[in-house]
Structure 1
């Protein structure tokens, strides 16, 4: 499948008024850091964290991922012990995360054109603050950030729709789901968005097969290719 432009379109694009962004792997280039941090732990037990495992966990909360990893690798640890080790790794590595291509331009464009924007991440609040620390100016442009890993209103993590429904409800005008456009990189996130009744642009990792992108409204290679005008939003300059 060619991901150079819109690739998977199930229905005609519909006009939206609000935009919700995922964080990891979509706005911030953290997925390689997660891989490095995980391997730093599991390699001590003769295991290797590769793509076949990683793709199953993308979009899950930290605690959910810890539970699955301990089970999948049959580690001699409780999930709580693994989770604590992972947090130590993240504190060392996450502050160095870079923005994904096109992220800053798109966020600033929507903000400057008074399009309400928010973030819905499976991270805890502490983790999200750690990752975004060097980009405080950019992330201050979002109306709110929902951290599913610690938010009591998010009862179930992705692929359940809870996080996106909670995120939409926190805009002052409480838009309907069909008024919201979600941008995601992970299959679990796309499933959550579509279950919430929202359109979803997917910017997947190149390793993700086309069968895992078919539920997205549109599939792109990078955020640089997003065309907001297709969804009734102001077009980016130069496009």
Structure 2
């Protein structure tokens, strides 16, 4: 029986919005002139990392090319920024957020995106993201200076603080994540976790994901499969 939770934290990329499709398309557009491709075998190892760590992992997996990780990131940011205003919500995201908001459940977003990226990714989806108000923690926020990125728990602890939750209240929180480092971060914060991995990640990683995902983590195929009442949250209204 899952514990009753009192607040909910969301990751952003690959969980609420379909940003992974843009990340993949842009990266392979940049790599194509060098005869390289970011396969899902490579991508599985960089999901959930900050952009510097992800770039380092990518270039370590590629053959030597006449492109530095720094130059790659500059190109990637420019191409992504053009496409973020068209990114779409993933199935179940709008329904779940609207439902929790209508019942007054405290919510926050904890993302590895920087603040400018977050605005580009969400401004056109204001009906959904507007309900969070200031309850958003981004990687470049002053409150994250000196803090560690996922899989460290810092970003989730900071998000919980925005909701007035202090030490010892992690067990009252529920985190939704798609990436393994994010799952590990939520577990390290002492919070309950619902893991919604990209199905393509599972096809690649298979059993390799099992040792690094705690057994108590609830795994779902989609946000559409989440049943709020299983965590003591108000159930959806009958159709």
Q: TM-score, normalised by structure 2?
A: 0.89
Alignment partner of 1:197 is 2:187: no
Distance 2:116 2:55 in 1: 17
1:70–1:82: 8 Å Cα contact kept in structure 2? no
Give the corresponding residue for 1:3. Answer: none
Would you say 1:18 and 2:15 are equivalent positions?
A: no
**Alpha-carbon distance between aligned partners in 2 of 1:211 and 1:48, rounded to the nearest angstrom:** 22
- Between the aligned partners of 2:80 and 2:142, the Cα distance in structure 1 is 23
1:43 aligned residue: 32
Of 106, 109, 133, the residue aligned with 2:99 is 109
- Could you tell me which of 110, 135, 155 is aligned with 2:125? 135
Counterpart of 1:99 in 2: which secondary structure? coil
* 2:58 matched residue in structure 1: 69
Which residue does 1:157 correspond to in 2? 149
Rounded Cα–Cα distance in structure 2 between residues aligned with 1:122 and 1:212: 21
For 1:1-239, list aligned pairs within 5 A.
Answer: 12-73=1-62, 74-143=64-133, 144-148=135-139, 150-154=140-144, 155-174=147-166, 176-207=169-200, 208=202, 209-212=206-209, 214-215=213-214, 217-238=217-238
Contact 2:45 2:57 in 1 (8 A): no
Gaps of 5+ in 2: none
Matched positions, count: 227
Confirm or deny: 8 A CA contact 2:38 2:58 kept in the other structure: no
Q: For structure 1, which runs of at least 5 residues remain unmatched after alignment? A: 1-11
> What is the Cα deviation at residue 177 of structure 1?
1.1
Aligned counterparts of 2:61 and 2:126: Cα–Cα separation in 1: 36
Contact 2:99/2:236 (8 A) holds in 1: yes
CA RMSD, Structure 1 to Structure 2 (Å): 1.7
Compute the displacement of 1:137 (Å): 2.5
Deviation for aligned residue 1:105: 0.5
Aligned 8 A contact 2:19 2:87 in 1: yes
CA contact (8 A) 1:70 1:77 kept: no
Seen in structure 2, the aligned counterparts of structure 1 residues 27 and 210 have a Cα distance that, compared at 3 Å, is farther
**Residue aligned with 1:80, SS:** helix
Q: What secondary structure is seen at the aligned counterpart in 2 of 1:98?
A: coil
Question: What's the offset of the Cα at 1:50?
Answer: 0.7
Distance 1:23 1:187 in 2: 14
Q: Which has the higher helix share?
A: 2
Displacement after TM superposition at 1:198 (Å): 0.7
